[in-house]
Amino acid sequence: TKQKCVCIAELFSFFWSAFPTVFSSSLVQHEMVADYSHLFYVRGSHPDLVPYMLLAHIDVVPANESDGWEAPPFSAKEINGFIYGRGTIDDKNSLMAILQALEYLLLKGYAPRRGFYIGFGHDEEIRGFSGAMNIVRVLKQRNVQLSFVLDEGLAVMDGIISGLEGPAALIGLSEKGSANVKLSVSTAPGHSSIPPKESSIGILAGAVKRLEDNPMPRLFGLGPERTTFEHLAHKFSLPLKFVMSNFWLFSSVLSRVLERKPDMNAFVRTTTAVTIFNGGVKMNVIPSYAEAYVNLRIHSTQTLQEVMDLIEATVGDPRVKVELVDGFDPLPVSSADERSFGFQIIKKTVLDLFPTVTVAPGICIGNTDSRHFKDLSKDIYRFSPNWFKPGDVQRFHGINERISKKNYEEMIQFYFNLIQNCDTRKLPEPHSSVHEL
């Protein structure tokens, strides 16, 4: 639309004015992809070093001031050291911090040894089918392979994980899969004065109730979430420390404890959420048709087909039609051992900036643009140095989304250091300089 084009033009104009060195440097190649997305290549002096890629996205979810925001959601108003606004967590913070870090580096005369790409998709919130996927298409046409990819995802959790002593930086190694499933029932219509024993709505409601009453099986400890808790075990107080350190014995018990809280239940199993229910057009008419939509986030050890088979078995009613609208399997699990270049570089950068945190691998329960890049790199990581305290997670896609000025400065420093840390050929030693080849 005309309005959309004007907004994109204004954003691009802002980029040019805010980061003039990025757009004028002979080291940086910039192009627009699919009209609205941005792709940068920063040339390195050592072409034998495999490049990497930093991702963020331009778009945000809607927000209404009438919902109870302390400041207008698109005002970027500062209150008590916090910048309020939609996108301050998801994901304009990473986007702006990456550009600001690169601007500072170029102003200092820095020339990277390892080249790298930056991709800013414009439709991540609606699955990235135009932005990220077209960026991938362009890179594939150029036969680009990447050492690793870093996108949004997990963060520094401080007081978020019950029983954990001190903050933890979780670096996502994978993402859960996803499925949108439609359930529908068709029956003969009729007048409400002569109702049948079961209506289309009643049959469908029964199927939905069975799905909610019979969640997907507990799979805790069988996927990458096990590695997360093993890495963090020493930071828990007793008796949790003992439990976390003996997964082989207590994983079943622990999964029963974790499933009691919705945020922890997401690590235990494939989650089931009924999101849409439609049926009926008039109060005195028995509807001939009713439908419901269910969104599932698939555990790393399950497949899309296994989940569909379980839904069919749980619904257990031939009158209910079960259809897959769309979906995909969980993403491959990236490496996180001592030989993993991307993970170790990210870990070192985190610890240099936040020396008191514990770094651990994690699993991203949402989905990001990075899933489209799996053919370009076997190692994709989901992390940005947002510092989340109790209550902050609810601001994600919620009311009063905000970031502290201090944390935004830390994000700039993170990317500033990360780009330099990537210039090594060798894996870093803990807390050592890696800027020398």
Phi/psi at 316 (nearest 5 deg)? Answer: 55, 35
The reply, when asked if residue 90 is annotated as ligand binding, is yes
Give the position of tokens 């207008």: 72
385 close to 195: Cβ distance less than 8 angstroms = no
| DSSP β-ladder status, 82-84 and 285-286 | unpaired
The sign one gets for the Cα dihedral 402, 404, 407, 412 is positive
Asked if the bond preceding 151 is cis, omega within 30° of 0, the reply is no
Q: Is residue 431 part of a domain?
A: no
pLDDT digits 0-9 by tens, 276-285: 999 999 999 9
pLDDT digits 0-9 by tens, 112-165: 999 999 999 999 999 999 999 999 999 999 999 999 999 999 999 999 888 899
pLDDT digits 0-9 by tens, 397-426: 999 999 999 999 999 999 999 999 999 987
The reply, when asked if residue 152 is annotated as ligand binding, is yes
pLDDT given at position 434? 42
pLDDT at residue 45 is higher than 50: yes
pLDDT given at position 269? 96
pLDDT at residue 436 is higher than 50: no
Q: pLDDT-derived band of residue 437, with 50, 70 and 90 as boundaries?
A: very low
Same domain? For 409 and 297 the reply is: no
pLDDT given at position 430? 59
Same domain? For 114 and 233 the reply is: no
pLDDT at residue 2 is higher than 70: no
pLDDT digits 0-9 by tens, 278-333: 999 999 999 999 999 999 999 999 999 999 999 999 999 999 999 999 999 999 99
Average pLDDT, stretch 10-19? 91
The active-site residue, picked from 59, 103, 158, 410, is 59
Contacts of residue 117, defined as CB under 8 A and 6 or more positions apart, other chains included, come to 39, 40, 41, 42, 51, 52, 53, 54, 139, 144, 146
Mean pLDDT value across the chain:
93
pLDDT given at position 237? 84
Q: pLDDT-derived band of residue 435, with 50, 70 and 90 as boundaries?
A: very low
Structural domain count, the chain: 2
Q: Which domain holds residue 366?
A: 2-175+333-421
Q: pLDDT-derived band of residue 258, with 50, 70 and 90 as boundaries?
A: confident
What DSSP designation does 400 have? Answer: T
Q: Is residue 337 part of a domain?
A: yes
Phi/psi at 187 (nearest 5 deg)? Answer: -140, 175
pLDDT digits 0-9 by tens, 210-253: 999 999 999 988 888 889 988 999 998 888 888 888 887 888 88
Same domain? For 144 and 253 the reply is: no
Confirm whether 337 is a catalytic residue.
Answer: no
Same domain? For 75 and 141 the reply is: yes
pLDDT digits 0-9 by tens, 187-210: 999 999 999 999 999 999 999 999
Six-digit token pair at 174?
A: 């994978």
Average pLDDT, stretch 340-352? 97
The reply, when asked if residue 57 is annotated as ligand binding, is yes
pLDDT given at position 162? 81
Q: Which alpha helices (H) appear in 262-340, and where do they start and end?
A: 262-268, 304-315
Query: How far is the C-alpha of 65 from the C-alpha of 68, rounded, in Å?
Result: 6
pLDDT given at position 5? 60
Element (H, E) at 251: helix 247-258
Average pLDDT, stretch 49-67? 96
Average pLDDT, stretch 331-360? 96
158 close to 170: Cβ distance less than 8 angstroms = no
The active-site residue, picked from 124, 379, 401, 423, is 124
Q: Quick one: what percent of the chain has pLDDT higher than 70?
A: 96
Same domain? For 64 and 146 the reply is: yes
Same domain? For 88 and 121 the reply is: yes
At 293 the three-state DSSP class reads strand
| CATH assignment at residue 392 | 3.40.630.10
Same domain? For 300 and 324 the reply is: yes
Instruction: Write down which residue in 275, 307, 328 finishes a domain.
Output: 328
Q: pLDDT-derived band of residue 428, with 50, 70 and 90 as boundaries?
A: confident
Same domain? For 135 and 192 the reply is: no
Q: Is residue 430 part of a domain?
A: no
The reply, when asked if residue 231 is annotated as ligand binding, is no
Confirm whether 312 is a catalytic residue.
Answer: no
